[in-house]
Amino acid sequence: MANKNKKVLVGMSGGVDSSVTALVLKRDGYDVIGITMQFLSERFLTEAAGTAHYGDAASVARKLGIPHETVDLSRQFQETIIDDFCNEYLNGRTPNPCVRCNRLMKFSFLLKKMKELGAGYIATGHYARVARDDESCRWYIKKAADRKKDQSYFLYMLTQDILKHATFPLGEFTKDEVRRIAKESKLSVHRKDESQEICFIEGKDYRPLLKGCSKPGPIVDSEGNVLGTHTGIADYTLGQRKGLGISVGKPLYVVEMDTKKNTIVVGEKSEAYQNELVCGDVKWISPPPSGPLKTTTKIRSLHRGAEATLYPIGDGRVMLRFSELQWAITPGQSAVFYDADTVLGGGTIESSSRSG
């Protein structure tokens, strides 16, 4: 961090990662201020299992001897993240609320607060790294040293204005090292469980959030034969096999969701593989390419990444063609483009197809 302003604003959720982030920065001589963004209303605080306890953040801040503030952003979070999440599912897409939250809520708020307090940096407990390319004077996101915990996929929408002020100290640590540091420093959160992927749902079942918002319809095969009835398009996602409620003597998977006809199409496993996709709302960290670009692209957070050629098609959209077929390329998810361990950009998957 080259900025001479040693004041840093740390987003503290109450978990071990953000707590150690504050600890490491303080040890490195920074003037640390803890900020807890309360995204969840009382309804979700009581209903969602595994939700970070905001009181733990204040407790850690007292232990570290740093100032701390909790800001209630639950109304904005409901309107910007939760409502969008529900609408995406109702329109047959599988959303990625964490990506959206990072850009529109978490980092934009921290940047604004940083400027209000006259700080020089913002920091979070993400496992990623920020680096500056001296030749282009651009800031880039790189994968974390701990590849199993790497969260660079979720950060592709961050702007240059955010990145030049951002630091991710945990990008150089493994999760085991982070827990060891917390334990040795006698932080009460050192044994705290991992936070759940989506903070406003209980476990992995989002369907109670959408109860009563969609209606049943037919489940058909690729030839239009009716095989059963679905409970509502929002209850399903591409590639799903379990919970279809149909039996034809062989495994079937969701291969298409037609919201106009309120119909789910199922087929054999091979039918759920595609090799092309179109992305919209593309955000670039690197300069946008003017022609074809070879990348390694991840189509979901746990995807290992696959070789693809990217073709700009205008209006902030790109088409990607993969070298090999990919499983269940899902509209609503993010496709993130990499050059080795460097994030180039990403976008929201609009559609997928199979060619050749």
Whole-angstrom Cα distance, residue 313 to residue 275?
17
Instruction: Give residue 236's Cα distance to chain centre.
Output: 20
User: Which backbone phi and psi does 226 adopt, to 5 degrees?
Assistant: -75, 125
Checking 312-319 for CB contacts under 8 A at 24+ apart, the result is 312/288, 313/278, 315/280, 316/280, 316/281, 316/282, 316/347, 317/278, 317/279, 317/280, 317/282, 317/347, 317/350, 318/278, 318/279, 318/282, 318/347, 319/276, 319/277, 319/278, 319/279
Residues annotated as catalytic are: 101, 199
The CA distance from 157 to 101, in Å, is 10
Q: What is the arrangement of strands in the sheet containing 263-267, beginning at the earlier edge strand?
A: 226-230, 217-220, 263-267, 253-258
